[in-house]
């Protein structure tokens, strides 16, 4: 069976030493803002758009990418990580995967205001390091959220 791969973008959003995560009822896990990269978008643009839609705040990417200075090109923000997620499969193998571009960003406040159709404000919570360690947040999400908090503090 053929494997279909979709590009996605995730943004770990930080404000004042805490990262925003929401509970995703279908996946039954806590995750940051993110979603599919549209055909006309670059991965970082998708992450910024998804963040604006899902939490209603304007993110500022934490980007330490050095420009290359290519005359016919443009240096893009480098993801902090890229992960391959198996989304669907059966006994014969995987047939749907997400190639996730993971970015870190800061936002100016914790006043979450999702667009209609997105997870409600009650689904979201801000987690500082201690709260992450004491939570039932998956280990990979916890580690990336802590790295985002570190990056924001060192920006």
DSSP string, 4-70: EEEEEEEEEEEETTEEEEEEETTTTEEE-SEEEPPTT--HHHHHHHHHHHHH----EE---PPP---
pLDDT digits (tens, 9 = 90+) for 27-69: 899 999 999 999 999 999 999 999 999 999 999 999 999 988 8
Mean pLDDT calculated for residue range 111-124 = 97
Beta-carbon contacts of 85 under 8 Å, excluding residues fewer than 6 positions away, are 97, 98, 100
> In the beta sheet, which residues pair with residue 23?
30
- The hierarchical CATH code for the domain 4-154 is 3.90.79.10
Identify the pLDDT of residue 129: 97
pLDDT at 17 over 80: yes
pLDDT digits (tens, 9 = 90+) for 21-35: 999 998 899 999 999
pLDDT at 91 over 70: no
Mean pLDDT of the chain: 95
Q: Where are the domains of the chain?
A: 4-154
């Amino acid at each position: 069976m053929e494997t279909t791969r979709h590009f996605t973008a995730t943004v770990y959003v930080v404000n004042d030493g805490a990262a925003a995560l929401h509970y995703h009822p279908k996946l039954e896990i806590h995750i940051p803002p993110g979603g599919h990269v549209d055909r006309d978008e670059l991965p970082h643009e998708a992450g910024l758009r998804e963040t604006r839609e899902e939490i209603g705040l304007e993110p500022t990417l934490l980007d330490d990418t050095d420009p290359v200075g290519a005359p016919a090109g443009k240096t893009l923000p480098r993801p902090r990580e890229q992960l391959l997620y198996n989304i669907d499969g059966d006994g014969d193998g995987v047939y749907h995967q997400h190639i996730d571009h993971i970015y870190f960003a800061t936002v100016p406040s914790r006043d979450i205001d999702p667009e209609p159709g997105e997870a409600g404000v009650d689904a979201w919570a801000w987690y500082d390091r201690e709260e992450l360690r004491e939570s039932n947040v998956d280990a990979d999400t916890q580690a990336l959220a802590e790295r985002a908090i570190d990056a924001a503090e060192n920006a």
